[in-house]
């Protein structure tokens, strides 16, 4: 039984990782608007957290973070902001791109478990979908401001505004679209996976 469960988990992780890579390296994963992009890659990360728990979410988040960093050097597309940040400091650019996505996936696993215990699995799928986009934006922008806030590039973008107002204005419609799409799609697909027996009901 244990071997069967482990095999199923690895199969699901492999499938979601494949979907994530497909989205990362095709137009399916990003809708570029200005220096930022609406990313749909948070959805496979959320589904990994739902089906496989914190460890699975962290693994998928790490893959997402790595593909995001590789865009800084033109692999699988180009992030205009990522190119600039990489030119300023490659190590900090890696941290800013990778760590937020890893933390996002890890925490989503705990969020799903917590909400499921407090209510039900169906609602927890939708809540996890919302937080996948919300935390991704929160962690990404926090890392951006903390690690690069004093650089000439960021100071030019901020333009003397209050940091909170800058972040809200900068992510704007992108973040709202991510949250809406992630909530709806993750909720629907997550519940379908639950009915298919791929989500632990405990």
pTM, two decimal places: 0.86
Give CA–CA dist 146/149, Å, rounded.
Answer: 6
Question: What is the tens place of the pLDDT at every residue in 100-140?
Answer: 999 999 999 999 999 999 988 889 999 999 999 999 999 99
* C-alpha closest to that of 44 among 29, 66, 26: 29
Q: What is the pLDDT of residue 196?
A: 80
pLDDT tier, 154 (very low <50, low <70, confident <90, very high otherwise) = confident
Euclidean distance between CA atoms 92 and 147, whole angstroms: 7
Please state, in angstroms and rounded to a whole number, the distance separating the CA atoms of residues 165 and 114: 31
């Amino acid at each position: 039984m244990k071997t069967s469960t482990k095999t199923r988990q690895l199969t699901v992780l492999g499938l979601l990782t494949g979907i994530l890579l497909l989205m990362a390296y095709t137009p399916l994963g990003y809708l570029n608007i200005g220096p930022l992009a609406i990313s749909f890659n948070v959805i496979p990360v959320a589904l990994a957290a739902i089906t496989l728990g914190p460890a699975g979410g962290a693994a998928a988040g790490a893959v997402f973070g790595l593909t995001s960093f590789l865009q800084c050097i033109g692999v699988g597309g180009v992030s205009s902001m990522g190119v600039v940040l990489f030119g300023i400091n490659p190590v900090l650019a890696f941290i800013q791109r990778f760590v937020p996505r890893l933390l996002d996936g890890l925490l989503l696993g705990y969020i799903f478990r917590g909400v499921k215990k407090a209510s039900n699995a169906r609602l927890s799928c939708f809540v996890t979908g919302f937080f996948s986009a919300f935390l991704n934006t929160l962690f990404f922008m926090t890392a951006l401001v903390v690690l690069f806030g004093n650089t000439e590039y960021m100071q030019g973008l901020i333009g003397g505004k209050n940091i909170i107002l800058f972040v809200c204005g900068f992510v704007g419609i992108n973040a709202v679209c991510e949250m809406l799409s992630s909530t709806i799609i993750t909720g629907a697909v997550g519940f379908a996976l639950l009915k298919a027996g791929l989500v632990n009901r405990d």
